[in-house]
């Protein structure tokens, strides 16, 4: 025997769960195919750097931290990509997402031989680009459109990154 009112609970739960999933799907912004949101942050020398100043180039935005093992594993690959593609119109912006001393950061950058600009990330840029985990790598084309968002680090993500770069040049 069915109790009155209980037949509606499963439908309500299904609708609630679906709305939660749809809400989460919207959180994956930045959306591939949409313009990248401009930002201005400082580099390690205290100079202001904006995404918009690189219009006309393919921009790789890499969100990372020194304490993150996958981030550290990706850096040699990014260094190599920057070495090979910088002269062809590719820029890598390493957005550092941690509060560390400048000496620690400088030592890390030197030890890892990072050859691309390292910028100091902010809570605002993390929220704008919905960075929940690191590393996150975003590929922006010459017109400022997001073409790829890669989460994590693996040989597959590095191959996809390089394929994206070659396809945009």
Taking only the tens place, the pLDDT of each residue in 107-134 is 999 999 999 999 999 999 999 998 988 9
CB 127 within 8 Å of CB 108: no
pLDDT at 21 over 60: no
CB neighbour list of residue 166: distance below 8 Å, 6 or more residues apart: none
Burial-class residue 117 by CB neighbours within 10 Å (0-12, 13-18, 19+): middle
Q: pTM score, two decimals?
A: 0.80
CB 142 within 8 Å of CB 89: yes
Taking only the tens place, the pLDDT of each residue in 154-168 is 999 999 999 999 999
CB 38 within 8 Å of CB 51: yes
pLDDT-derived band at 9 (thresholds 50, 70, 90) equals very low
Taking only the tens place, the pLDDT of each residue in 139-149 is 999 999 999 99
Give the CATH number of domain 31-168: 3.40.30.10
């Amino acid at each position: 025997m069915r109790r009155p009112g209980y037949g509606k609970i499963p439908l309500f739960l299904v609708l609630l769960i679906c709305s939660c999933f749809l809400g989460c799907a919207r959180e994956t912004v930045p959306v591939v195919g949409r313009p990248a949101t401009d930002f201005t942050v400082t580099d390690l020398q205290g100079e202001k750097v904006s995404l918009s100043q690189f219009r006309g180039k393919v921009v790789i935005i890499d969100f990372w931290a020194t304490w993150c093992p996958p981030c550290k594993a990706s850096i040699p690959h990014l260094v190599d990509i920057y070495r090979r593609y910088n002269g062809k119109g590719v820029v890598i912006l390493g957005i550092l997402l941690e509060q560390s001393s400048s000496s620690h950061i400088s030592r890390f950058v030197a030890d890892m031989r990072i050859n691309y600009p390292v910028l100091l990330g902010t809570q605002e840029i993390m929220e704008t680009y919905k960075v929940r985990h690191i590393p996150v790598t975003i590929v922006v084309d010459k017109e400022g459109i997001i073409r790829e968002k890669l989460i994590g680090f693996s040989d597959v993500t590095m191959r996809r990154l390089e394929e994206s770069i070659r396809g945009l040049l």
